[in-house]
């Protein structure tokens, strides 16, 4: 069965959600990943959105932002940001999703500013990303794989990962959590006890050499590294029934 790279990434993100978990959904591809998880293996997952929305069912049609009217219709609760962020802070959120411009060796994320050819390139900023990375029990980030997108150290930590390595989060006062996975356009990275990223799975058609050559540090490779599982027919059906025009997943 043929599928797009974005569909593979959405399916991989969806599988990070366990049934019954409370998930901070985030923007873009994770919006679809939540829907796919709900319609396949995680029908009892609960979605939290930082605008104040809590959903126990997928939105009835595609949304471009979390505040689109279909995300309000039939929601479990529509209240305020302080409320859902407080659930995050008090440890009631299992998993959060984030995007980023850069992710480094220890899973720290930068979405504030990067160095470009002509000086600093300003990006939109944290939004809720720093809050999710700081306080969810685990978080998953998605990004385009490239050497400049995966530097050894990010130039600005918008959202804290494992900082400088194992034990760092506790030292700086973070209550819990840390990065569980980075889903890139080439592979899935996971993290060891030492806080450092390693190659867990490589997407079908991508070689380990290609990934190593396009990562900004000497990436460790798991002994049992294997191909990223392809999206199943059910996952593709859920994606295509939702993103009918392929805005996010073409």
Partner 1 sequence: MSKVLTLQQAIADLVPDGSSVALGLQMEQMIPFAAGHEIIRQKKRDLRLIGPISDILFDQLIGAGCVKDVVAAWVGNVMMGSAYNFRRATEQENPGTPGEKLRVFNMTNFCISLALQAGAMGVPFLPTRTAMGSDVPRGNHFFYQIISPFEPKETLMAVRAIQPDVTIVHVQRADKFGNAHCWGNFGVMIEGVRAAKKVIVCAEEVVPEEMIASDPNRTVIPGFLVSAVVYCPYGAHPSPVQGYYKRDDDFFQQYHAETKTPEAFSAWAQHWIHGVKDCSEYAKLLGEERLENLGVKKHAYAAVTDFGY
**Residue 100 touching partner 1 (CB under 8 A):** no
Set 7, 16, 21, 50: catalytic member: 50
Identify the residue among 19, 115, 147, 172 touching partner 1 (CB under 8 A): 172
Tokens of 150: 């995966």
Supply the Cα-derived Rg of the chain in whole angstroms. 17
**Residue 136 touching partner 1 (CB under 8 A):** no
Cα(201)–Cα(229) distance, integer angstroms: 8
**Residue 87 touching partner 1 (CB under 8 A):** no
Q: Given its phi and psi angles, is residue 163 left (phi above 0), alpha (psi -120 to 50 degrees) or beta?
A: left
SS3 state at 165: coil
Cα(245)–Cα(43) distance, integer angstroms: 24
**Residue 168 touching partner 1 (CB under 8 A):** yes
**Residue 119 touching partner 1 (CB under 8 A):** yes
Give whichever of 49 and 202 is closer to partner 1, judged by the CB atom.
Answer: 49
Identify the residue among 47, 96, 107, 160 touching partner 1 (CB under 8 A): 160
- 156 phi, psi to nearest 5 deg: -150, 125
SS3 state at 46: strand
Cα(193)–Cα(76) distance, integer angstroms: 37
**Residue 121 touching partner 1 (CB under 8 A):** yes
Binding to partner 1 (CB under 8 A) within 24-53 occurs at 27, 49-53
Q: Is 193 a catalytic residue?
A: no
Query: What amino acid positions are annotated as catalytic residues?
Result: 50
- Where along the sequence are the contacts to partner 1 (CB under 8 A)? 27, 49-53, 64-69, 72-73, 78-82, 85, 88-89, 112, 119-131, 133-135, 156-160, 163, 168-169, 172-175
């Amino acid at each position: 069965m043929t599928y797009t790279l974005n569909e593979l990434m959405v399916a991989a993100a969806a599988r990070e959600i366990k049934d019954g978990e409370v998930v901070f959904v985030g923007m873009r591809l994770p919006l679809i990943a939540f829907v796919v998880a709900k319609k396949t293996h995680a029908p009892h997952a609960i979605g939290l959105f930082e605008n104040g929305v809590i959903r126990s069912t997928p939105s009835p049609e595609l949304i471009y932002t979390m505040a689109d009217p279909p995300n309000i219709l039939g929601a479990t609760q529509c209240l305020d940001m302080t409320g859902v962020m407080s659930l995050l802070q008090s440890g009631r959120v299992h998993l959060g999703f984030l995007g980023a411009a850069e992710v480094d060796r220890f899973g720290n994320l930068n979405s504030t500013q990067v160095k470009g050819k002509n000086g600093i390139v300003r990006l939109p900023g944290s939004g809720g990303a720093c809050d999710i990375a700081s306080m969810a029990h685990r978080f998953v980030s998605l990004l385009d794989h490239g050497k400049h997108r995966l530097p050894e150290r990010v130039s600005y930590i918008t959202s804290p990962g494992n900082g400088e390595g194992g034990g760092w989060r506790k030292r700086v006062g973070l209550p819990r959590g840390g990065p569980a996975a980075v889903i890139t356009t080439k592979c899935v990275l996971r993290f060891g006890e030492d806080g450092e990223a390693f190659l867990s799975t490589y997407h079908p058609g991508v070689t380990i050499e290609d990934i190593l050559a396009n990562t900004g540090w000497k990436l460790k490779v798991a002994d049992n590294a294997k191909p990223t599982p392809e999206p199943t027919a059910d996952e593709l059906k859920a994606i295509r029934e939702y993103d009918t025009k392929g805005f996010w997943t073409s």
